[in-house]
Amino acid sequence: MRRFLAVLAGLLTGAAAWEGYKAVGNPDGTVLFGVRVLPRADDLSMPHLWTIAERLGAPELTGGRPVWRVVVDACLFTLGITTAGFVAGALIGLALAVAMQRFRVVERGLLPYVIISQTVPLVALAPLIAGWGGVLMPPWATVAVIAAYLAFFPVAVGMLRGLQSPSAAGVELMRSYAAGWWRTLVTLRLPAALPYLFPALRLAGAAAVVGAVVGEISTGTRGGIGRLLIEYAREATSDPAKVYTAMLGAALLGLLVAGAVSLLELPLMRHRRHVEVATL
């Protein structure tokens, strides 16, 4: 409830700042030393919030479906791709984490690359995966691949931390029960890893959304919110409010995914301590 109020307060502040700036800002923006440091405040660059709201209700093209239907459909399309990518990426990440925990040599050989890969813009590869569409897999699946490889890194690192988190005493206790690696994994390491897994999954969810949006743009996949964003941005000079509706759609997608991951976590994380996970 408090979180909800906080978010509401933030949104209201943001809306007030937007309209306030429109009221006092220079319509042509503020230029300092030849650089426009404050944005244009005219209706073309910053439409009124109610214009954007009206635009959501109006048809996309004359006589077509209302914009909000188009945006929601695009969100659902991208949500499907994101989910596929997220699930695939999370499963691969989990498997890799277990393998790295089991075999020290795998950890030594792979972990540096997993960490480095988080520091480099691998999402830049997106336009290159586009070539796979129609050859190796259907075009939408290439987008899911991009979402999957962005989702997989945080899960692999976070889960490895979690699997390694049980104390030496816990591990020795399992040894004293003559429990093998598998039993130790199931009864000790996996439950101990849950507090680490969920923050990682939240990161992975956000990363999968970015991957799907960027992936749609660079592969030119039609039907999703990323593509819609670019299409509407091209119409910005004639129909400025439209691109904002697409942006709202992207935000909605992010919220949906974050909410879904939180729901996943709710039943499992009751009565458990929360840990902070930094994957870098």
Partner 1 sequence: MRRVVPPVVVGVLALVLWELTVTLGRVAPFILPAPSAIGAQILEQRGNIVDAALASGANALTGLIGGTLLAILAALAASRFRLLGEVSVPFAAVLNALPIIALAPILNNMFESTSSVPRRLVTGIVVFFPVFLNLLRGLREVDPVHQELMRTYAAGGWTFARKVRLPGALPHLFTGLRQASSLAVIAAVVAEYFGGLQDGLGARITSAAAFTAYPRAWAFVAGACLLGLSFYLVTLLLERLAMPWRTRLIS
Tell the smallest beta-carbon distance from residue 279 to partner 1 (Å): 8
Selected from 75, 94, 126, 155, the binder of partner 1 by CB under 8 A is 126
Tell the smallest beta-carbon distance from residue 182 to partner 1 (Å): 25
Selected from 93, 163, 213, 239, the binder of partner 1 by CB under 8 A is 213
- Only one of the segments 85-93, 103-111, 166-174, 176-184 lies at the binding site for partner 1 (rule: CB under 8 A); that segment is 103-111
Which residue is it, tokens 């004293």? 176
Selected from 23, 24, 61, 105, the binder of partner 1 by CB under 8 A is 105
- The residue type found at 209 is V
Residue number, 155 or 174, with CB nearest to partner 1: 155
- Only one of the segments 32-40, 48-56, 170-178, 189-197 lies at the binding site for partner 1 (rule: CB under 8 A); that segment is 32-40
Q: Which of residues 128-187 bind partner 1 (CB under 8 A)?
A: 128, 130-132, 135-136
Residue number, 3 or 63, with CB nearest to partner 1: 3
Determine, following the binding rule CB under 8 A, whether residue 92 of this chain makes contact with partner 1: no
Residue number, 151 or 246, with CB nearest to partner 1: 246
Tell the smallest beta-carbon distance from residue 198 to partner 1 (Å): 13
Residue number, 184 or 218, with CB nearest to partner 1: 218
Q: Which of residues 41-80 bind partner 1 (CB under 8 A)?
A: 44-46
Residue number, 130 or 174, with CB nearest to partner 1: 130
Tell the smallest beta-carbon distance from residue 5 to partner 1 (Å): 8
Residue number, 12 or 268, with CB nearest to partner 1: 12
Determine, following the binding rule CB under 8 A, whether residue 124 of this chain makes contact with partner 1: yes
- Only one of the segments 63-71, 175-183, 236-244, 263-271 lies at the binding site for partner 1 (rule: CB under 8 A); that segment is 236-244
Q: What is the 3-state secondary structure (H, E, C) of the chain?
A: CHHHHHHHHHHHHHHHHHHHHHHHCCCCCEEECCEEEECCCCCCCCCCHHHHHHHHHCECCCCCCEHHHHHHHHHHHHHHHHHHHHHHHHHHHHHHHHHHHHCHHHHHHHHHHHHHHHHCCHHHHHHHHHHHECCCECHHHHHHHHHHHHHHHHHHHHHHHHHCCCCHHHHHHHHHCCCCHHHHHHHHHHHHHHHHHHHHHHHHHHHHHHHHHHHHHHHCCCCCHHHHHHHHHHCCCCCHHHHHHHHHHHHHHHHHHHHHHHHHHCCCCCCCCCCCCCCC
Measured CA to CA in angstroms, residue 164 lies from 167, 181, 260 at distances of: 8, 13, 27
The whole-angstrom separation of Cα 190 and Cα 164 is: 10
* Residues 6+ positions from 236 with CB-CB distance below 8 Å: 44, 242, 243
Binding-site string for partner 1 from residue 247 to residue 266, where x marks contact by CB under 8 A and - marks none: x--xx-xxx-xx--------
